Amino acid sequence: MQSNDDELQAYAEAHTSPETDLLRRLNRETHVQVLAPRMLSGQLQGRLLSMVSHMVHPTRILELGTFTGYSALCLAEGLAPDGELHTVEQNPEQEDRIRRYLAEAGLTDRVQLHIGDAAAVLAALPPQAWDLVFIDADKINNAVYYELVLPQVRPGGFILIDNVLWSGKVLPSYPLRAADKDAHAVRAFNDLVQQDTRVENVFLPLRDGLLLVRKR
């Protein structure tokens, strides 16, 4: 059976819980005011992030790549009562918007926003046992971030990595060029995780691909 991707996406969204009013406003604002709004998680992926967070009920969440804050708001929905989320964004131009929406959500005291290079911020953070990690930063460094955070993820904890399909360029049938550096990096990262005996993993072809990893 052949189906139209846009039709499938619309059907999936129509049969997924809706965004909150706050998330809907942030979604709209991002598409109107921010370059590359496709980087925002959106309803379908956002509800999945929220669902995973509710299932894990994490005390400590780490996010690499805040963008405008949509995914952080979704992940925070499942935080334990004493839980805390650390999120890292390299673009300082997004800071005011992120903090404004965190304040509207009542999360100012529970979400710690770090502006700067993800690897540098990770190195400066005190060691923590992360329950849930979401990696959605620059794809060329996926493996770097993965190796930095995995030792700090508690046994049984989870890592989610976004954009692991990279518009289909990771597929063996796609003729990659040498200039497709991000695509080469994502392909290599996917293979690294698949061969990593420290974890179990499921590849979800949701939107641009989401890799769900559980530390053994």
> Distance (Å, rounded) from C-alpha 161 to C-alpha 32?
26
Look at residue 49 and tell me if it is in a domain: yes
Q: Is the pLDDT of residue 105 over 50?
A: yes
Look at residue 204 and tell me if it is in a domain: no
Look at residue 87 and tell me if it is in a domain: yes
Per-residue pLDDT tens over the stretch 196-208: 999 999 999 999 9
Q: Is the pLDDT of residue 74 over 90?
A: yes
User: Vertex 160, ends 44 and 154: CA angle to 5°?
Assistant: 135
pLDDT value at residue 50: 98
- Find the CATH number of the domain harbouring 43: 3.40.50.150
Look at residue 201 and tell me if it is in a domain: no
Look at residue 62 and tell me if it is in a domain: yes
Look at residue 72 and tell me if it is in a domain: yes
> Distance (Å, rounded) from C-alpha 119 to C-alpha 122?
5
Look at residue 182 and tell me if it is in a domain: no
| Residue range(s) defining the domain that contains residue 83 | 5-153
pTM for the predicted model, two decimal places: 0.96
Per-residue pLDDT tens over the stretch 131-156: 999 999 999 999 999 999 999 999 99
pLDDT value at residue 1: 46
- As for how many domains the chain has, the answer is 1
Look at residue 140 and tell me if it is in a domain: yes
